[in-house]
Structure 1
Amino acid sequence: MAPPPRVCVTGGGGFIASWLVKLLLSRGYAVRATLRDPGNPKNAHLKELDKAPENLRLFKGDVLEYDTLTPAVEGCEGVFHLATPVPEDKMVDPESEVLDPAVKGTLNVLKVCSAAKVQKLVVVSSNAAVDFNPTWPQDTLKDESCWSDKEFCKENGDWYSVAKIMAEQAALEYADKNGLNVVTLCPPLVFGPLLQPVVNTSSKFLIYVIKGGPDVMNNKLWHIVDVRDVADALLLLYEKKESSGRYICSPNHIRTKDLVALLKKLYPQYNCVNNILDVDQKASLTCQKLMDLGWEPRTLEETLADSVECYEKAGALQDVPGHPCRLPHLFRLARDPKNAILTQLDGASGNLRLFKADVLDCGTLAAAFAGCEGVFHPATPKELMDPTVKGTKNVLEACSATNVQKLIVVSSVAASCFDPNWPEGKLKDESCWTDKEFCKDTQNWYSLAKTEAEEMALEYGKKNGLHVVTFCPGLVVGPLLQHVAVNTSSKVLLYIIKGGPDTLSNKFWPLVDVRDLADAMLLAYEKSESSGRYICSLDQMDIKDLVSLMKSMFPNYNYTDKMVDVDYKVYTTSDKLKNLGWQPRKLEETLADSVEYFEKAGLLQDADGKPCRLPYFYRVNAEE
């Protein structure tokens, strides 16, 4: 009797690999599986598989150590390369955590296969190497000719996708140059029953959807495949002589909300995730090439049923007191939920690109600015000096380095209204600058930071030939576009409406609608004659008058009643901006739209046991 055909599976103890080993053994193959630690209890399930005692050998091997792979691969007709980590937590060192194991590890496997004269190598890639291509036509299914944009993934900090792209490209290029028969498979989210005792990352994704938790999900289109169908596809690719190139392995696609609805229908006893944000949808994938080869995957309902049955038996769906279920970081990484609204804006799908950047890292800014004619710089928190001053300096230098023609910097009225020597009764215009020493004496660090940053921006523009225009808005209110985070100035208005334990100074506060500020910035950008600084504030009234106005419009709220009169009035003028063509809204419209939004978002409802508080930034100023 002829000996059974011999194959090797790298990373044999993983979710997909375990099912592949089981399938290979059932089909009469002699299997060698590499493991970093064959004696680890998490790999014990392999020895219990049918036919394992006679046809399965476990080898200690690490894809980053070439010599450890040779004993396992020698004498094998075929190799299946599955050993690549799928990160669950936030990556600290992408190179060592995913890039090296994926890219260098794959190259080691390729070289070992060539040296051992392996007849065929099947490499497991990922649909992450296919799906992230912002230039792909939205009305065209993504097939094997579509590759994820490596630079796009880098800009978004998606190192797992970068690793998968690089590893798959390296495998196919190596095959072309060295005559090795290499086929790659790109599976998406892989669900199904577990053979291994450790719950893998993609299974934790489904468990989170079923149980729910604190993490917000996007209502994006997910591609799903059964782990047993992936194993079938791998063996099919190995056994079919005509298989070549890459194969997408994504038979099911469903949006998050539809997946939740399906799970609730099948399993009404579970809570399921409910904090889901709508986002733009992108083109789906097709696995027609693989199906033409004879692949017949299961239905999504069967996959979900078998997955949940497995999770229930393993106790994976039970709540752990004090430990809420969390979405694996890999799936949180792609888009911060607080920024998800940006992808829903009209025209965003074709004309908006998001870059991962930090104003304290000039290099990340230059990558975003490259090729831009203009830059708008509103990014400044209210807490720190460095992001305001050093961050603005980095933005200026990045603009110069990338030949930006015009920069609009958002400063604040705080940089123009704290001057104790300004003549009383005289309107404060753009010639008025906040006294920095006065700010230091009163510990008004926000105003100091804004003043220093704006002065530096205008001076830098003059010295370096960069066209810089600055804006000094008052308290910015109006409806919010972002859903997750309520900004500081909106919290001030919320406090005025709801009231609370904090005392407000009855100051004159310059106010401006957020939409009018956006209009003003675009106006200054598009007007070639715009120059210098612009105060951007329409209505000015003290807190008592503002409360009186709001009570007349919305009498059903409590409103703050803790106010102390102070001898401080801020009269500013925006005539320079109006002369440029700025036409702001009336205050009543701004307040009406703000309150309408707050009501719809539930922000005006009382939180049990939690009084509304005035943001500390304004409490500090109120006490001065």
Structure 2
Amino acid sequence: MSAVERKTACVTGGSGYIASALIKMLLQKGYAVKTTVRNPDDMEKNSHFKELQALGPLKIFRADLEEEGSFDEAVAGCDYAFLVAAPMNLKSQNPEKELLEAGVQGTLNVLRSCVKAGTVKRVILTSSAAAVSGQPLQGDGNGSSHVLDESSWSDLDYLRSTNGISPAQAYAIAKVLSEKEASKLAEENGISLVAVCPVATVGASPAPVANESVANVLSLLSVSDSISGNEEINTLRMIDQYSGGLKLVHVDDLCRAEIFLAEKASPSPSGRYICCALNTTIRQIARSLAAKYPHYNVDIDALGGGLPEKPTILLSSEKLTSEGFEFMYKTVDEMYDDAFVEYGMALGILHYRERETTMSSEVERKTVCVTGGNGYVASLLVKMLLEKGYAVQTTVRDPNNPEKVSHFKDMEKLGPLKVFRANLEDEGSFDEAVAGCHYAFLVAAPVYDKSHKSDDLEKEIVQGGVEGTLNVMRSCARAGTVKRVILTSSTAAVSSLRPLEGAGHVLDESSWSDIEYLRSMEKLSPTQAYSISKVLSEKEATKFAEENGLSLVTLCPVVAVGASPVVRVDTSVPACLSLITGDEEMMNILKGIEKASGWSMPMVHIEDVCRAEIFVAEEESASGRYICGSLNTTVTEIAGFLAAKYPQYNVRCDCIEEHHPEKPTISLSSAKLIGEGFEFKYKNLDEMYDDLVAYGKALGLIPN
């Protein structure tokens, strides 16, 4: 593999929280990565490299910020250099030397190695918002806030005005001076330099050892007795007061922003970029966490006085977003997800606590049913519902099949999960699973089993799908507790139409697949049977719901991609990966999906599907059907994208026939869903395939 095919990036400080997440993301994007650590033999800090090396070529080098030239070997031959390593010890007894001097000289040492390498196209310096907001600002008393952008610099005179600088002050001064000295050196040597100034970073990372910032941002959940006696909480309070509130960004968004700025060609990025997705306060975070994680007993009152309700200083990322970057995590709820909490447990910062032990009544925890819990979509839906605090009852045909139910073992740690035996063909078999449930998510549906080549698709797929849906609906009616049924349909019930002339057609929820046209073929195909089944299931379920006073909402997802808890998948994942794997059968299925969808390949990330399912369940005003798709594309566009992103896999662009369009002739609109307040997190192929390729490797579909 030549350098033209795969770019190489250097990431300094690979044992760190941010750097380890950045390495993982770069490897997933197809880069070769070189990283540096002070001691490669320290397995306590470096154990995560073994799993990261399974994602792609990763080399680890010994280097120290204090040693001139020690980064030369790691940087040699690299296209990009991400300078993440920096001294960080808020308990330092000699902050002037250990944080300030070491921070500036360490940055310059790595930059000099970049100059010597002669191959580095751009250096991305990870600075900090501490280099932006350390200045004496006061509110005007009218409730307004100061808004700081990249033109703002922390005031060095102000930071040095006390008797002896604290570690926090030394860190802020070091970041200011590092940025300015690095910019000077870069200009003198013709190197493209971009500085990223992240705020407090949250989220799970591969790093097996926590830095102080992770413990600080998780401290509201780690309090066991007295908040006032908790060192990390006091640090968080100090940051809140010093910075006019707490500013947060998810580590995934930070890494995405760094890569975005490294790769961006036109217009070329320059200068510094604040990376902040949320301006909030410790009080606002505490309220959100108290509601989301009641079993951690977050004591808001014990935070004491002197803390603002709203931030008095806001950091603006308008420069970053105006150049095309979009944050995926924008709320406390999204940032403090269960993956972050689990990471805190793995690091020993948080203790495992059963959600059930702190629930005082059924009112506090709603119970839901998810049918087909061993399925691709349903398994992730179960996981996300547990993470949101629901009790979940799910169904499978055979609870004793370890291949299909092994994923439930890990899920049971997230909250109360019960698994029931049920079959769509057996009337009443869902009664026990639905009993006592607040919501019922009907995800299970018969799918074509290519292993036994059924000749009776009408019976197995069409009739089986309709009757199976009605069987579960009848169980919901008998339960008497179900407030809403969420039926997972498909855009196969929307877009399977007679051929449309021209291009630019936009379909919404008023469109229904044409059953007469689908039945007009000489022989019913599995794809046609599936479309007919979805149309009839929706209509019969709607009729039944109206007759029995049930609230029914239907979600019609497009082709779903992304990682799921299940270790065995059928069609959409291997089909969407077929251009990489070269699987001819799956490639033909992919082309068939495009043709059946009117020469369009609409896509959505599976996480967004599950978020949408929960959204329409909880949104009281939701009604009718909702198309769920964030991207309209084509197989031709996907092939071109994959060939550029993953050159190491020799993507099969040659297999796309000339009659396949460059642009979709039909687009599916999710305007109704978005108009009611839903927002997709994954909106382009780059975001979707990062996760999908990693999942494909885990499943053994793609070689590492």
User: What TM-score comes out, normalization by structure 1 length?
Assistant: 0.49
TM-score (norm 2): 0.43
Bigger radius of gyration: 1
